[in-house]
Amino acid sequence: MEPNLQDLVDRLVKFRDERDWEQFHTAKNLALSVSIEAAELLEHFQWTTEDQELSREKTDSISQEIADILIYILLLSEKLGIDPLKAAHAKIQKNEDKYPADMVKGKSYKYNQY
């Protein structure tokens, strides 16, 4: 059986609860943690060029940062009762409405600039 998103959330909640860490997982702290981990992800790209290849070691480290970000996003979603998949689908729909492909294809304009 293929693991799914809810399996991952359940595992994270179990991990958290076994350590009595929910007391520290306020929405504010989880949101801060997302930002902190995202900054750590950016550090891997600081001072690199666009065409620079990443080493296997660097890619592995980036993978760890992506995992940290996802973990905190899922814990924050669980804390606030937000289904992250539904939220993502809703956001994609909103972006499709704001950025019609025929009007913005190949352009980086913001929705209020076309």
Has residue 24 got a pLDDT over 80? yes
Distance CA 27, CA 79 (A): 7
| Residue spans per domain, the chain | 5-82, 86-114
pTM of the model: 0.90
CATH placement of domain 5-82: 1.10.287.1080
Average pLDDT of the chain is: 95
pLDDT tens by residue, 59-79: 999 999 999 999 999 999 999
pLDDT band at 1; cut points 50, 70, 90: low
- The pLDDT of residue 114 is 76
Token pair belonging to 45: 């790209």
